[in-house]
Structure 1
Amino acid sequence: MPRLPTIRAQFPDLATTAAREQMTYRGFLAELLMAECDDRARRRSERRIKAAGFPRQKALRDFDFDANSSIDPATIHTLASCEWIKKGEPLCLIGDSGTGKSHLLIALGTETAIAGFRVKCVLATKLVNELVEAADDKQLTKTIARYGRVDLLAIDELGYMELDRRGAELLFQVLTEREEKASVAIASNESFEGWTKTFTDPRLCAAIVDRLTFGGNIIETGTDSYRLSHAKNQQGSG
């Protein structure tokens, strides 16, 4: 059974259980098929998570909501249901370093992949560099189309450094390609007012903010670094 690896692997144990519990043939067959389907779903989820390119593993169950009162757990768990992905809405996570933005970005992206959607996670600078190289190699249309095919594009560390006009315009093209069709989630350490440091052209900056906020979800993670306070607590208890 080359295409039914779970049935092949679990048949002896399930057959023994079925005999012990005097299961009907139909019940035994149902158990076998359910095991195969469950395992296939797990493997598909694993492939989608791997394809997303998350820099590290982060799960919602590991997020310490008690450590950051700025973040409403109900809002995050509503986002984890992926309704915003189905509607193609954007998500902005705004706050200082260490407040949980990247954790939430990766965790929500992971939930999206598990739910069956295609996800790509990338650092803002890496995305812009890739777009510039693609433009130089006359591959820009193909690259933008590739980023346009995923259901969720998660961009981390937007706002950490200034982008030149060309880089900003290329990023704007990606966002425009996805507008009201597929979701974009970003994490930024700058409030929208401070984005003029990253996107130095005011009109382009305003257009990008509009693309990322229209009809979307904005979550402010605050200014108190969870990582810093956690480190201090660890030192204090050591």
Structure 2
Amino acid sequence: MNENLSLTHEELLICERLRSLRMSGMADAFESQMLDPNADLAPFIERFTEIVNHEWQIRYDKKFKRYLKQAHLRYPDADLDETIYDPARKLDTDAIERLATCHWIDEGKNLLITGMTSSGKTHLSNALCISALRQLKTVRYIRANTLMLELEQARLKSTYLEYVTALSKLDLLAIDDFGLMELDLDKCRDLFEVIDGRDGCRSTIIISQFPIKSWFDLFREHTYADACLARITDKRHSYRLEMNGISMREAEK
């Protein structure tokens, strides 16, 4: 950039107006072009696209960071790196790659991730959550015990309906450690309210170290077991990933 160049009155006015419209990214990009003596070498559409894209990227990054913070991921830096292709992990990489496109979330389908302890279930689920966040979908990750506790607290504070409604509006809800909590009658009812509110229109990831065939016995009340499992395990409305390969903790040693 030529330090001897300066903006004209009209160019300064444009920058001022862009900033007054809260388009500081466009203002900065426009100013940078006006101070570049070689800017006119590029076609107008190319220059204008650069200005618009600069503003868009700033807004996208801010929104992504806000959504990421609200998601409460255990691994906010998780990604689908080359480790998913390690044969020892025994992963269905074709399915994972398709899931990363997030088309299943657009369709309101569920994902059930099961497998042995330390097989990387949580990390993989968080990586898929980040794929959704990059498309600016709303996401919340929560452990099953925490979910039950928050539902109980919401009932005590008379905010139960607001809490369940907020969960129902999320594009993706990831419930981890399913099966490590005792599902008494109240918890069965709470879980049903969450699942039923999302059924058919919003996607849910259920992560568990227990095989799906044993989930029915986790419910104290079998009527709710039937109702919940019919909504989340129906093969027409859910996908499945089994992770029974090597322990990631052992692999890192």
TM bucket (normalised to shorter chain) is: 0.7 to 0.9
For 2:33 and 2:206, locate their aligned partners in 1 and report how far apart those are by CA, in whole Å.
46
Aligned to 2:209: 189
Q: Report how far residue 202 of structure 1 moved.
A: 3.2
Q: Report how far residue 26 of structure 1 moved.
A: 4.5
Alignment of 1:1-238 (within 5 A): 1-2=19-20, 3-16=22-35, 19=38, 22-57=41-76, 58-61=78-81, 63-66=83-86, 68-196=88-216, 198-214=218-234, 215-222=237-244, 224-231=246-253
Q: Which has the larger radius of gyration?
A: 2
Deviations 1:11-62 (A, max 9, x none): 4544455626722444323321122112222222222222212122211136
Deviates more, 1:4-13 or 1:120-129: 4-13
Q: Report how far residue 135 of structure 1 moved.
A: 1.8
Whether the 8 Å contact between 1:91 and 1:184 is mirrored in structure 2 is yes
User: Of the two structures, which has the highest relative contact order with CA contacts closer than 8 Å and spacing of 6 or more?
Assistant: 1
Q: Report how far residue 69 of structure 1 moved.
A: 4.0
Deviations 1:128-184 (A, max 9, x none): 111112122332211110101111111111112323221122011110111111111
- Structure 1 residue runs of 5 or longer lacking an equivalent are 232-238
Using a 3 Å threshold, how does the CA distance of structure 1 residues 155 and 35 change in structure 2: closer, same or farther? same
For 2:226 and 2:245, locate their aligned partners in 1 and report how far apart those are by CA, in whole Å.
24
| Identity in percent | 25
Letter in 1 for 2:105: I
Q: Any idea what SS the aligned residue of 1:218 has?
A: strand
Letter in 1 for 2:70: A
Letter in 2 for 1:229: A
Q: Report how far residue 72 of structure 1 moved.
A: 1.4
Letter in 2 for 1:22: L
Letter in 2 for 1:184: T
Whether the 8 Å contact between 2:88 and 2:245 is mirrored in structure 1 is no
Whether the 8 Å contact between 2:91 and 2:245 is mirrored in structure 1 is no
Letter in 1 for 2:247: S
For 1:126 and 1:185, locate their aligned partners in 2 and report how far apart those are by CA, in whole Å.
15
Whether the 8 Å contact between 1:63 and 1:103 is mirrored in structure 2 is no
Deviates more, 1:127-136 or 1:5-14: 5-14
User: Scaled by the length of structure 1, what TM-score is found?
Assistant: 0.87
Count how many residue pairs are aligned between Structure 1 and Structure 2: 231
- Structure 2 residue runs of 5 or longer lacking an equivalent are 1-18
For 1:14 and 1:123, locate their aligned partners in 2 and report how far apart those are by CA, in whole Å.
49
User: Scaled by the length of structure 2, what TM-score is found?
Assistant: 0.82
For 1:26 and 1:229, locate their aligned partners in 2 and report how far apart those are by CA, in whole Å.
51
For 1:225 and 1:66, locate their aligned partners in 2 and report how far apart those are by CA, in whole Å.
12
Letter in 1 for 2:248: Y
Letter in 2 for 1:195: W
For 1:9 and 1:205, locate their aligned partners in 2 and report how far apart those are by CA, in whole Å.
57
Q: Any idea what SS the aligned residue of 1:37 has?
A: helix
Using a 3 Å threshold, how does the CA distance of structure 1 residues 17 and 221 change in structure 2: closer, same or farther? farther
Letter in 2 for 1:19: N
The alignment yields a C-alpha RMSD, in angstroms, of 2.2
For 2:88 and 2:33, locate their aligned partners in 1 and report how far apart those are by CA, in whole Å.
46
